[in-house]
Amino acid sequence: MTMIFLLTIEDEIVRSKLEEIYYMYSKDIYRCAFKILKTHHSAEDIVQNTIMKLIDNLENIEDVNSKKTKSYILTIATNMAINMIKKNKKIVNLEKNHEERLVDDTDLEKYMLNLETCSEIAATLSKINPNYADILMLKYFHEYSNAEIAEILQINENNVHIRLHRSKRELLKQFEEGFK
């Protein structure tokens, strides 16, 4: 992977911060994108596009080496990969005859972890409201607490609880529709 594209940024402070982010997170972004897209070229595109997208949102990153920053960056990368799938119309269909049923949070976590590939999760998450997909990613993929999610999204914990409830309900609905 190359970071030649960063040389086009004239502001040295911005370039320096982006270079630090690139060196720290490019491998994580690549792995995340590759799990979803399954192609080397597309995953590399997501790495560069994610770093470039951060130019407009650099003020949201106070500490480059924080869990919050990593989650923020990986959420952007995940959404970009999902959007790339949508754009290319390569959304993977979930198996029709899947027998597992989701009942509570424990079953939801177990189900998400036991799906055959991350692309199945990405395909299903791409069908729900992006705000719901983001909160599920923060909770179950990045393992943030409700308090940490509230801080990241700049909402109160009660709203996190409500959004998680709504997003789980919407995700369950998508899973059930996919298995009919």
Same-domain status, 72 and 112: no
Residue 47 in contact with residue 26, Cβ under 8 Å? yes
Same-domain status, 82 and 130: no
The number of distinct structural domains making up the chain is 2
Give pLDDT tens digits for 119-153. 566 677 778 887 788 888 788 777 788 988 887 77
**CATH code, 123:** 1.10.10.10
Its domain, for residue 74, covers 1-90
Dihedral of alpha carbons 81, 85, 86, 88, sign: positive
Among the three residues 51, 67, 90, which one is the final residue of a domain in this structure?
90
Same-domain status, 78 and 102: no
> Picking from 33-37, 67-71, 108-112, which range would have the lowest pLDDT averaged per residue?
108-112
Residue 8 in contact with residue 41, Cβ under 8 Å? no
- Higher pLDDT among residues 95 and 38, named by residue: 38
- Determine how many CB atoms are found less than 10 A away from the CB of residue 106: 9
pLDDT(103) > 80: no
Same-domain status, 68 and 104: no
The angle that helices 157-178 and 146-153 make with each other, rounded to 10 degrees, is 100
Among the three residues 90, 114, 139, which one is the final residue of a domain in this structure?
90
Among the three residues 90, 105, 139, which one is the final residue of a domain in this structure?
90
